[in-house]
Structure 1
Amino acid sequence: MLIQLAEPFQIVSPISSISLLTIPWYFFLLFFCISNYYLCVRLPANRYTALQLLAIHSLAAAITIGLWMLLGWSWARALAELNTYEPSVVYAQSQMINTIIGLLLYGIWVLIHYTYLMAKGDHTENADALAQKLLISNIELQTIKASVHPHFMYNSLNMLANLSIIAPDKIHDKCVQMSEFLRYSVNYSKNELVTIEEELNHVKNYLAIERERFGEGLEVFIEVDNNALGQPAMPLLLFPLIENAIKHGIQSHAGAGFIKISIKQNQNSIDLCVSNSYDPTGNKAQSTKHGLASLKKRLQSYYGPGSRFNAEQTDEVYSVALSLPFLTRATALPQRK
């Protein structure tokens, strides 16, 4: 009696064969397409031209789909070894259409990723802009409080009263300086950018009032590179430094004190330094530590990571040095859309 051996197990259904070939194969295509997100991240749409992006992504698509097609060919050969229904024939007959589908899907995922990145970028910029506005509002409130603080107004009015007796001819100039100082303090936030010269004039008005109050107890030295005067700057850049020097330096100084302002323009930055005499044994005003901390946050928001803030203190001198990249009205954060 002859015993007929069973033939090897075969999948004879073309549909089953096509499914075995395409489902795992297209899963890898999905993986490749999702992975191009990282290429989109490395190639921001706002830094490259459309032609450059098209050329780079076309090359990436050609390489990716070429590898994917090779993977499909290898998978079809592997299935053929398992005696499935002619997978290599199915692969060969659909090679062109699969290549086209692969390229289309790759391109669609590139567009999806760029759409997501642009939406994410807009959300981040809007969040940064909102944070910047909140910081500006906070600083503006603090500035107005400092400007119209009862002690400041009381001291200023006392100074004017004394001048009315000993030097009435100075009253007009001091009133004008107080008016200009208060006007700038209240209205500066309406401007997205000011100039170094405007900032310098603002603190000059403030120092003129304080010098009249302290008399010979305060000396002011200003060194300015004229080339820097027209450079754009964020509003209220210098005032927190000068106010800090008065409040925690000059007021607590037993003898005569000084404030020195240095502004220089270098090739790639504006360098500012405010230093003041410091008496470690003097009576210190209570510090909230908000002024300089808020200034540093605003510097980061306006100037980005290129800004530098460095504070140093010795037994007799306290100084704050700033190094700031050039600003333009096009790159200032508050104007971003």
Structure 2
Amino acid sequence: MQGPLSTRRGALLYLIAWLYLGMALGVVCAALAHTRLVNGLVFALPTTPAYGIAAGFSTYYLCRANPLGTRPAPLIIVMLAAAAILAGFMWLAVLQGWNELCQGLGVAWAGVPVGTELSALLFALGALLYGLLAAINYLAIEAGRARNAERHALEARVAAQEAELRMLRTQIDPHFLFNSLNSISALTSQDPRAARDMTLQLASFCRHSLGLAGQDKVTLEQEMTLIRHFLAIEKVRFGARLVTEEALEKGALACLVPPMIIQPLVENAVKHGIGQLPEGGLLLVAAWREGRGAATRLRITVSNAVDEHANSGGAGGIGLANVRQRLACAYPNAATIAWKREDGTFTVDIALPGETKES
């Protein structure tokens, strides 16, 4: 059940607060009525928590039925003022009835003389407490509404990011497939056996990529399996011109990455870097972890030889733009990508959170 007593902990704290208020009111009543403290406590302590529970439920449902913004503010103020005055009179009537019942017991420690001053105080206190509870309920309702709006906005943003990620991932598969089919077509007349080997490697690559297509994150080891299939396809075309190396830290292989996040970089390195060199060159993929605990970062670099006189050496195609957008969607403000070209080498450096399945 919703409201002020929606949880056991909340109900206990609410009851304790009203018990303390009842004890304080009992002390004040004893002083104003010039009677003993025990009489004041017997008069105020049982009825104050009961009023707190009744007023709490009343204000909660009244505020829920009349949320801010749905009706004119003056009308809500007048309605709450009338409800507070009515609650004050009802509490005063309950206190007086309880006092008469206690006095009827004929014992010295029960009942207090309720004069005009004490009655006015009790009525005013009841009305003020009702108004305070209404204000607290309105604050809680508006805070809950703000949290819900924030949650809905976050859900919408996440849904938009997931849609963008799916769109970006679908750009990669046709792009790579078309390039591979063009290569197979070129090899068909020049080297039928190489074309056949390349077709088989492409089939293996597609099987593995389809197995990972439905996952948001894969391990770096799984990603590298795809990279090796891709490079096997390219080696059929380039032969000894394409030299590959890996420098993979063991701990980095368990880290999670978006699927096919490295493949576009490797494809660009082959097509726009090594593919432009008559003598070919080296392509290096390295990965390692930095830091510890929650601050662990995964670093991935893809380096390739380039023509020093050419304008591009791995920066062409959709590869870098696609990877940058996917990283921004998957790790908002938590991943970076940078590239540089020097000494005949083009290097792309990626840094992202070092997440694992365990973490």
TM-score bin (small chain): 0.5 to 0.7
1:296 counterpart residue number: 324
Pairs within 5 Å for 1:209-228: 209-228=233-252
Pairs within 5 Å for 1:114-153: 114-140=144-170, 142-149=171-178, 151-153=179-181
Segments of structure 2 that go 5 or more residues without pairing to the other structure are 1-7, 18-118
Pairs within 5 Å for 1:1-337: 94-140=124-170, 142-149=171-178, 151-159=179-187, 174-185=198-209, 188-266=212-290, 267=292, 268-282=296-310, 290-327=318-355
Q: Matches of 2:304 and 2:169 in 1, distance apart?
A: 22
Q: What secondary structure sits across from 2:349 in the alignment?
A: strand
Deviation of the 1:105 alpha carbon = 1.8
Residue-pair matches, total: 244
Kindly indicate whether the alpha-carbon contact (under 8 Å) linking 1:264 and 1:271 is maintained by their aligned counterparts in 2.
yes
Q: Matches of 2:211 and 2:141 in 1, distance apart?
A: 44
What letter corresponds to residue 217 of structure 2 in structure 1?
Answer: L
Q: Matches of 1:242 and 1:286 in 2, distance apart?
A: 8
The 3 A distance-change label for structure 1 pair 105 and 119 is same
Normalising by structure 2, report the TM-score. Answer: 0.58
What letter corresponds to residue 264 of structure 2 in structure 1?
Answer: P
The 3 A distance-change label for structure 1 pair 315 and 293 is same
Q: Matches of 2:134 and 2:357 in 1, distance apart?
A: 41
The 3 A distance-change label for structure 1 pair 125 and 313 is farther
Normalising by structure 1, report the TM-score. Answer: 0.61
Kindly indicate whether the alpha-carbon contact (under 8 Å) linking 1:252 and 1:284 is maintained by their aligned counterparts in 2.
no
Please, which moves more after superposition, 89-98 or 301-310? 89-98
Deviation of the 1:264 alpha carbon = 1.1
Q: Matches of 2:326 and 2:9 in 1, distance apart?
A: 37
Deviation per CA, 1:197-224, whole angstroms, max 9, x where unpaired? 1110111111111122112222111011
Deviation of the 1:144 alpha carbon = 2.3
Deviation of the 1:276 alpha carbon = 0.9
Deviation of the 1:187 alpha carbon = 5.6
What letter corresponds to residue 136 of structure 1 in structure 2?
Answer: R
Deviation per CA, 1:281-333, whole angstroms, max 9, x where unpaired? 248599775431221121122223221212112241111111111336799xx
Q: Matches of 2:345 and 2:139 in 1, distance apart?
A: 59
> Percentage identity across aligned positions?
22
Kindly indicate whether the alpha-carbon contact (under 8 Å) linking 1:193 and 1:233 is maintained by their aligned counterparts in 2.
yes
What letter corresponds to residue 291 of structure 1 in structure 2?
Answer: G
Q: What secondary structure sits across from 1:265 in the alignment?
A: strand
Kindly indicate whether the alpha-carbon contact (under 8 Å) linking 2:285 and 2:300 is maintained by their aligned counterparts in 1.
yes
Q: Higher RCO, 1 or 2 (CA under 8 Å, sep at least 6)?
A: 1
Q: What secondary structure sits across from 1:305 in the alignment?
A: coil
Q: Matches of 2:312 and 2:184 in 1, distance apart?
A: 21
Q: Matches of 2:304 and 2:280 in 1, distance apart?
A: 11
Kindly indicate whether the alpha-carbon contact (under 8 Å) linking 1:144 and 1:186 is maintained by their aligned counterparts in 2.
no
Please, which moves more after superposition, 116-125 or 260-269? 116-125
Q: Matches of 1:190 and 1:176 in 2, distance apart?
A: 23
Segments of structure 1 that go 5 or more residues without pairing to the other structure are 1-49, 60-88, 332-337
Deviation per CA, 1:212-261, whole angstroms, max 9, x where unpaired? 21122221110111222232221111111111212221122243211110
Larger Rg computed on CA atoms: 2
